[in-house]
Amino acid sequence: MNISVIGTGYVGLVVGACLAENGNNVCCADIDERKIKDLRKNILPIYEPGLEPLVERNQKEGRLSFTTSLEDAIKSAEVVFIAVGTPPGEDGAADLKYVLQVATLIGRFMVREMVVVTKSTVPVGSAAKVGAEVAKEAKFPFHLCSNPEFLKEGDAVEDFMRPDRVVLGVESPYARRVMNDVYAPFVRTGKPVLIMDIASAEMTKYAANGMLATRISFMNEIANLCDKMGANVDFVRKGIGSDSRIGQSFLFPGPGYGGSCFPKDVKALIRMGGACGVPLDVLSAVESANDRQKRVLVEKVRIALGKDLKGKRIALWGLAFKAGTDDMREAASLTLIATLLDEGVSICAHDPAAADHARALLGNRIDYAETNYEALSGADALVVVTDWNEYRHPDFERVKRALRQPVIVDGRNLYDVEKMRELGIRYHSIGRPSA
Q: Which residue is nearest to ligand NAD (CB)?
A: 9
Backbone angles phi, psi at 292, to 5 degrees: -65, -40
Q: What angle do CA 103, 32, 364 make, to 5 degrees?
A: 135
Length of the chain measured in residues: 435
Q: Kindly tell me which of 8 and 372 has the beta carbon lying closer to ligand NAD.
A: 8
Q: Is 348 a catalytic residue?
A: no
How far apart are alpha carbons 116 and 129 in whole angstroms? 12
Q: What angle do CA 389, 392, 395 make, to 5 degrees?
A: 120
Question: Please, what's the b/e burial string for 352-368 (b: 16 or more CB within 10 A of its CB; e: otherwise)?
Answer: bbbbebbeebbeeebbb
Q: Kindly tell me which of 267 and 300 has the beta carbon lying closer to ligand NAD.
A: 267
How far apart are alpha carbons 93 and 96 in whole angstroms? 9
Least CB distance from residue 385 to ligand NAD, whole Å?
19
Q: Kindly tell me which of 81 and 252 has the beta carbon lying closer to ligand NAD.
A: 81
For residues 39 and 64, the answer to whether their CB atoms sit within 8 Å is no
Least CB distance from residue 73 to ligand NAD, whole Å?
9
Least CB distance from residue 158 to ligand NAD, whole Å?
13
Burial of 23 (0-12, 13-18, 19+ CB in 10 A): exposed
Least CB distance from residue 392 to ligand NAD, whole Å?
23
**Closest CA relative to residue 115, chosen from 141, 153, 88, 154:** 141
Element spanning 179, H or E? helix 173-183
Least CB distance from residue 36 to ligand NAD, whole Å?
9
Q: How far is C-alpha 9 from the chain's CA centre?
A: 12
How far apart are alpha carbons 139 and 109 in whole angstroms? 9
Tell me the Ramachandran region of residue 192: left when phi exceeds 0, alpha when psi lies from -120 to 50, beta otherwise: beta
For residues 95 and 23, the answer to whether their CB atoms sit within 8 Å is no
Which residues contact residue 293 at a Cβ distance below 8 angstroms, ignoring those fewer than 6 apart?
217, 220, 224, 254, 255, 256, 332
Which residues of this chain interact with ligand NAD, rule CB under 6 A?
Answer: 6-12, 29-32, 35, 70, 83-86, 98, 101-102, 120-121, 149, 151, 153, 260-261
Least CB distance from residue 123 to ligand NAD, whole Å?
11
Q: Kindly tell me which of 99 and 340 has the beta carbon lying closer to ligand NAD.
A: 99
Choose the catalytic residue: 27, 261, 276, 348. 261
How far apart are alpha carbons 121 and 203 in whole angstroms? 9
Least CB distance from residue 104 to ligand NAD, whole Å?
9
Q: Kindly tell me which of 34 and 238 has the beta carbon lying closer to ligand NAD.
A: 34
Q: Which residues are catalytic?
A: 261
